[in-house]
Structure 1
Amino acid sequence: MSYNPMDTFTTYALDAGLTALPPHLPMLLTSLAFFTFVHLIVAPLVSYAFFPDTYGKMGRRVRNNWCIHVVSQAHVSLVIPLALGCLNLEALDRDRAFGWEEDKVGRLIAVSSGYLIWDTVDVIVNFVNIGFVMHSLVCLAIYLGSFKPLLAYYVAWCLPWEASTFFLNIHWFLDKTNHTGSNFQLINGLFLLVTFFVVRLVYGGMYVSYQFAHTLYQVRHQVLLAYIFIYGGGNVVLQGLNWLWFGNMIEAIRKRFSGDATDKTHTSNGIAPK
Structure 2
Amino acid sequence: MHDPFFVPASSFVFGETIKPLCDYLSLRSLPSHIHEILFAFGVYHLIFEYIAPPLSSLFLSHRYSKLSYESKLRWNMHCASMVSSCTICALALWTIVMDDERRNMNLIERLWGYTGAAALVQALATGYFLFDLVVMIRYLDVFGLGMLVHASSCLITYTLGFRPIFNYYGCVFMLYELSTPFLNIHWFFDKLGMTGTKAQLYNGIALLVVFFCCRLVWGAYSSFNIYRDVWNALHLTEAAKMGSNNDEMMRFAGDRSLPMWLVVLYMSGHVTLQALNVFWFGKMIAAVKKRFVKTEKKS
Which category of TM-score, normalised to the shorter sequence, fits these structures? 0.7 to 0.9
1:176 matched to which residue of 2? Answer: 191
Separation (CA, whole Å) in 2 of partners of 1:96 and 1:7: 27
Query: Deviation at 1:72?
Result: 0.4
Query: Deviation at 1:81?
Result: 1.4
Contact 1:20 1:149 in 2 (8 A): yes
1:105 to 108, 118, 125: 118
Q: TM-score, normalised by structure 1?
A: 0.87
The one-letter amino acid paired with 1:193 is L
2:208 matched to which residue of 1? Answer: 193
1:254 to 282, 286, 289: 289
CA deviation vs aligned residue, 1:73-119 (integer Å, no higher than 9, x gap): 000121111101221634332321111002x1121111110001111
Q: 1:6 to 1:150 in 2, by over 3 A?
A: closer
Q: 1:30 to 1:154 in 2, by over 3 A?
A: same
Tell which structure's C-alpha radius of gyration is larger: 2
The aligned runs of 1:1-274 (5 Å cut-off) are 8-87=17-96, 89-92=99-102, 93-94=105-106, 95-102=109-116, 104-127=117-140, 128-205=143-220, 207-220=221-234, 222-259=257-294
Q: TM-score, normalised by structure 2?
A: 0.80
Query: Deviation at 1:253?
Result: 1.5
Separation (CA, whole Å) in 2 of partners of 1:62 and 1:167: 18
CA deviation vs aligned residue, 1:211-269 (integer Å, no higher than 9, x gap): 11211222237311221121111111111111111111111112212229xxxxxxxxx
Runs of 4+ residues over 4 Å off in structure 1 = 4-8
Query: Deviation at 1:129?
Result: 4.4
With 237-246 and 5-14 compared, the bigger mean Cα shift is at 5-14
The one-letter amino acid paired with 1:18 is L
Q: Where does structure 1 lack aligned partners over 5 or more consecutive residues?
A: 261-274
Using the aligned pairs only, state the percent identity.
Answer: 32
With 220-229 and 237-246 compared, the bigger mean Cα shift is at 220-229
* RMSD, aligned CA: 1.8
Query: Deviation at 1:13?
Result: 2.1
